[in-house]
Homo-oligomer: A and B are copies of this chain.
Amino acid sequence: MLRMAEAFASKVLSNIFSRSTFAWVLGVTLLVPLSTVGEEPAVDASDSLQQTVDRLQKLALEGSGALELVRSLTTEVGPRLAGSPGDKAAVAWAEAKLNHLGFAYVRKEAVQVPHWRRIREEGEILTPFPQTVVVAALGGSVATPPQGIQAEVVKVASLEALEELDAKQVAGKIVFFDGGMMPRAQDGSGYRIAVAPRGMGAARAAPKGALAVLIRSAGTSNNRFAHTGGMRYPEGVKRIPAASLSNPDADLLSDQLSREVPVRFRLTLETEELPEETSYNVIGEIRGREKPSEIVLLGAHLDSWDLGTGAIDDGSGCAIVMEAARLIGQLPQAPRRTVRVVLFANEEFGLSGARAYAAAHEAEMELHKGGAEADFGAGRVWNFRAGVEPNRLEDAKALARYLEPLGIKFGGLEAFGGADLSPLGEFRVPRFDLTQDGTTYFDYHHTDNDTFDKIVPADLAQNVAAYATWAYLMAEMEMDLGRGPEPLPRRR
């Protein structure tokens, strides 16, 4: 209890003494009630940080506000790929909902987004054993001719394995990347590698003369759903169609290929690239009582892929941060700083919402005291990481202790912060991970099967408690946690 107060006191005293030793001594010896620490006023006369956190956690764990928000979004909007009619409906939903929930400064900020759509997709093994299979066009894939592309299939395990093939082994064929993603992992590890052929398979296969690419779904379920997701055509490379196969269908294709007779496949994709659309980041705030210009950012993304109803990706994230901020807004007294909810446009298809936010708010980046995004489903938060400078480790740990009753451990300073917060790293906005349990996330992610019923209500509520706790502390504590680490050289 009151560990945060100790840390705050430590912070103050560290201006006088060497922090590195003193903070530790203080941490184990100073157990002073919050109200006696002059530098850290209580939230109100009869309350303390810990009491307020307890209240927030209780309200969150007992409540179903987030669940009803996801239900509302998935039922009343459903799929909402950037640029689509669903995207527009989602923006309207979000603006209305934030207003209805009592957020301040509810506004939309324009974002240019691509507009691609899927019309029809068919896959068929022609020989040696004809069977139709479940395919999904990858996001951004060009169409095939209306009658499809018929060709022999050549299987490779990875992008690297493709590089080892001669062009004559690939030319005129459909390249099948069979790497896949099994097994499941709490941290979703495996996805980054599995997803490489989704993004780059077509770009790598086209120069060798491939006619199309198929990939085994980057998903951990053996349910018969194909996993979509963004792919890219680099400048100057021929654009060939790309689709994913469900895991059972990848098994089937692989089994037919194992017979060592040529396997011919017909892929038919009808897709359409339309002019860019204007979408919006939708923003609402719980205004701070003392330092309203200082911002604690709670993010999630409003867009989804077009196949499911976007319940876990990222309806749950939207609901978690909206409900967490709403609960903070219901406290007897607002926290010192502003809690800003940002529902980003177009995370899925190029992060243009994230970039637009960073550009539009560049002038106030110094005022962003921290950010966290919920974008890994609705599994329980189990890990907390703080993207602060190493000399703030003890402060980060102090904050982490408030999360312990929720079953959350402190995981160090190497935080990711979520894809939509990545542009904020260059401005050294401290980013925080409230890492969700992703064990089953890639069972559903980017498939038809991402629907409301996949959410476990108690787990979603625990997320609300975690995000509310973090955001409240970040907004209420007198000190801030400094800036984020120096950005690494950009990847890509």
Min CB–CB distance A167 → chain B (angstroms): 30
Annotate A233-260 by CB proximity to B: 1 below 8 A, 0 otherwise.
0000000000000011001100110000
- Given known contacts A134-B448, A255-B71, A77 and B129 CB-to-CB distance under 8 angstroms: yes
Q: What are 14 A-B contacts with C-beta separation under 8 Å?
A: A75-B255, A76-B129, A78-B129, A78-B131, A78-B252, A79-B131, A131-B309, A247-B453, A248-B451, A248-B452, A251-B451, A251-B452, A251-B453, A252-B452
Chain A contact residue count (CB 8 A cutoff): 29
- Given known contacts A75-B256, A252-B309, A255-B71, A449 and B223 CB-to-CB distance under 8 angstroms: yes
Q: Tell me the number of copies of this protein.
A: 2
Within A450-491, which residues are at the interface with B (CB < 8 Å)? 451-454
Min CB–CB distance A445 → chain B (angstroms): 14
Min CB–CB distance A451 → chain B (angstroms): 4
Query: Taking the complex as formed, is A225 at the interface, i.e. its CB lies under 8 A from any CB of chain B?
Result: yes
Min CB–CB distance A86 → chain B (angstroms): 9
Query: Taking the complex as formed, is A232 at the interface, i.e. its CB lies under 8 A from any CB of chain B?
Result: no
CB pair A449–B224 under 8 Å, yes or no, is: yes
CB pair B224–A224 under 8 Å, yes or no, is: no
What separation, in Å, do the CA atoms of A248 and B74 have in the docked complex?
11
Query: Taking the complex as formed, is A222 at the interface, i.e. its CB lies under 8 A from any CB of chain B?
Result: yes
What separation, in Å, do the CA atoms of A484 and B34 have in the docked complex?
82
Chain B residues with CB under 8 Å of A128's CB are 76
What separation, in Å, do the CA atoms of A224 and B448 have in the docked complex?
7
What separation, in Å, do the CA atoms of A448 and B222 have in the docked complex?
12
Closest B residue by C-beta to A131:
B78
Closest B residue by C-beta to A251:
B453
Among A71, A74, A225, A248, chain B packs the most CB atoms within 10 A around the CB of A248
Annotate A51-91 by CB proximity to B: 1 below 8 A, 0 otherwise.
00000000000000000000100111111000000000000
What separation, in Å, do the CA atoms of A134 and B71 have in the docked complex?
18
CB pair A453–B129 under 8 Å, yes or no, is: no
Given contacts A223-B449, A248-B451, 6 further A-B contacts (CB under 8 A): A74-B252, A76-B128, A222-B454, A248-B453, A252-B451, A255-B452
CB pair A224–B222 under 8 Å, yes or no, is: no
What separation, in Å, do the CA atoms of A491 and B438 have in the docked complex?
50
Within A249-298, which residues are at the interface with B (CB < 8 Å)? 251-252, 255-256
What separation, in Å, do the CA atoms of A78 and B308 have in the docked complex?
27
CB pair A224–B451 under 8 Å, yes or no, is: yes
What separation, in Å, do the CA atoms of A134 and B447 have in the docked complex?
13
Chain B residues with CB under 8 Å of A76's CB are 128-129
Chain B residues with CB under 8 Å of A75's CB are 129, 252, 255-256
What separation, in Å, do the CA atoms of A320 and B252 have in the docked complex?
21
What separation, in Å, do the CA atoms of A256 and B129 have in the docked complex?
43
Chain B residues with CB under 8 Å of A78's CB are 129, 131, 252
Closest B residue by C-beta to A225:
B224
Closest B residue by C-beta to A255:
B75
Closest B residue by C-beta to A134:
B448
What separation, in Å, do the CA atoms of A408 and B71 have in the docked complex?
44
Within A421-458, which residues are at the interface with B (CB < 8 Å)? 448-449, 451-454
Chain B residues with CB under 8 Å of A225's CB are 223-224
Among A75, A128, A448, A453, chain B packs the most CB atoms within 10 A around the CB of A75
What separation, in Å, do the CA atoms of A24 and B362 have in the docked complex?
90
What separation, in Å, do the CA atoms of A174 and B327 have in the docked complex?
42
Min CB–CB distance A22 → chain B (angstroms): 54
Min CB–CB distance A304 → chain B (angstroms): 12
Chain B residues with CB under 8 Å of A79's CB are 131
Closest B residue by C-beta to A453:
B222
Closest B residue by C-beta to A311:
B248
Within A177-230, which residues are at the interface with B (CB < 8 Å)? 222-225
Closest B residue by C-beta to A129:
B76
Min CB–CB distance A134 → chain B (angstroms): 7
Closest B residue by C-beta to A308:
B224
Within A100-155, which residues are at the interface with B (CB < 8 Å)? 128-129, 131, 134
What separation, in Å, do the CA atoms of A224 and B450 have in the docked complex?
9
Min CB–CB distance A216 → chain B (angstroms): 12
Min CB–CB distance A44 → chain B (angstroms): 40
What separation, in Å, do the CA atoms of A370 and B141 have in the docked complex?
58
Chain B residues with CB under 8 Å of A308's CB are 224
Chain B residues with CB under 8 Å of A449's CB are 223-224, 248
Chain B residues with CB under 8 Å of A454's CB are 222
Closest B residue by C-beta to A222:
B453
What separation, in Å, do the CA atoms of A74 and B224 have in the docked complex?
14
